[in-house]
C-alpha cells in the first residue's frame, strides 16, 4: 500500500512540476483517473447488483408468496446501486471536460 501511495505522490509531483508540460500531464492523469474510477464504480455496482438479485431469488425460492414484494424491493435497491455508478460517471465527465485543476 505504501508503494502505491508513493507512486501516486511521484505522479502528482511530475504532473505539477513543469509549467509547459504540466497542463498536458494533468489532462492525461485526469483521463486515467476517470477511467479507473469509473471502472471501479462499475465493478462495485455489478457486484452489488449480483448480490441483490441472488438474495431476491433465494428469498423467493424460500417463500414464493413474497415474490412480488421482494421483486419491488429489489428494483428499488437496483436503482440505488445504479445511481451510485451514475454519480461516478458524472464525476468522471467533470474530470474530463470541465477539469477544475486546469
Tell me, letter by letter, the H, E, C secondary structure of 3-38.
HHHHHHHHHHHHHHHCCCCHHHHHHHHHHHHHHHHH
Q: State yes or no: pLDDT of 18 exceeds 80.
A: no
Mean pLDDT of 78-93: 94
pLDDT in tens, 20-30: 666 777 888 88
The domain ranges of the chain are 24-97
pLDDT of residue 80: 96
Does domain 24-97 fall under CATH 1.20.20.10? My reply is: yes
Closest to 52 (Cα-Cα) out of 94, 92, 81: 81
Q: Is 95 exposed, middle or buried (0-12, 13-18, 19+ CB in 10 A)?
A: buried
pLDDT in tens, 32-79: 889 999 999 999 999 999 999 999 999 999 999 999 999 999 999 999
Task: Tell me the backbone φ, ψ of residue 101, rounded to 5 degrees.
Answer: -90, -5
Cα torsion for 26, 28, 30, 31, to the nearest 10°? Answer: 170
The residue ranking higher by pLDDT, 77 or 99, is 77
Q: State yes or no: pLDDT of 11 exceeds 90.
A: no
Query: Max CA-CA distance within the chain?
Result: 67
Q: State yes or no: pLDDT of 14 exceeds 70.
A: no
Amino acid at each position: 500500500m505504501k508503494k502505491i501511495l508513493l507512486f501516486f505522490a511521484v505522479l502528482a509531483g511530475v504532473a505539477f512540476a513543469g509549467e509547459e508540460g504540466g497542463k498536458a500531464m494533468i489532462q492525461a492523469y485526469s483521463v486515467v483517473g476517470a477511467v479507473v474510477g469509473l471502472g471501479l464504480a462499475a465493478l462495485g455496482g455489478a457486484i452489488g447488483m449480483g448480490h441483490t438479485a441472488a438474495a431476491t431469488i433465494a428469498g423467493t425460492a424460500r417463500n414464493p408468496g413474497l415474490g412480488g414484494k421482494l421483486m419491488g424491493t429489489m428494483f428499488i435497491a437496483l436503482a440505488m446501486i445504479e445511481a451510485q455508478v451514475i454519480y461516478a460517471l458524472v464525476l468522471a465527465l467533470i474530470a474530463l471536460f470541465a477539469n477544475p485543476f486546469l
